[in-house]
Amino acid sequence: MEYGPHRPGTLHDHVALDEIELYAEVLVAAAHADRRLAMEELDRVLGLITAPEPG
């Protein structure tokens, strides 16, 4: 049974992979923080808002 250009029997759920990547980014940010992350920080990690310009 062929599912596409990949090996037989493999499926890729790109939405699930994207969600796993976002979850991993939140885990990394939380691991580097010495306190609970604020909602704005979480939004920034998730790419919902951009980081402020240094300056």
Structural domain that includes position 25: 1-55
**d(C-alpha 44, C-alpha 8), whole Å:** 39
The whole-number pLDDT of residue 41 equals 92
> Tens digits of per-residue pLDDT, 21-52?
999 999 999 999 999 999 999 999 988 987 66
pLDDT exceeds cutoff 50 at 55: yes
Domain count, the chain: 1
The whole-number pLDDT of residue 1 equals 46
In 3D space, the residue among 4, 9, 48, 2 whose CA is nearest the CA of residue 25 turns out to be: 48
Work out the pLDDT band at 7, boundaries 50, 70, 90: low
Work out the pLDDT band at 3, boundaries 50, 70, 90: low
Contact criterion met (CB below 8 Å) for 29 and 41: yes
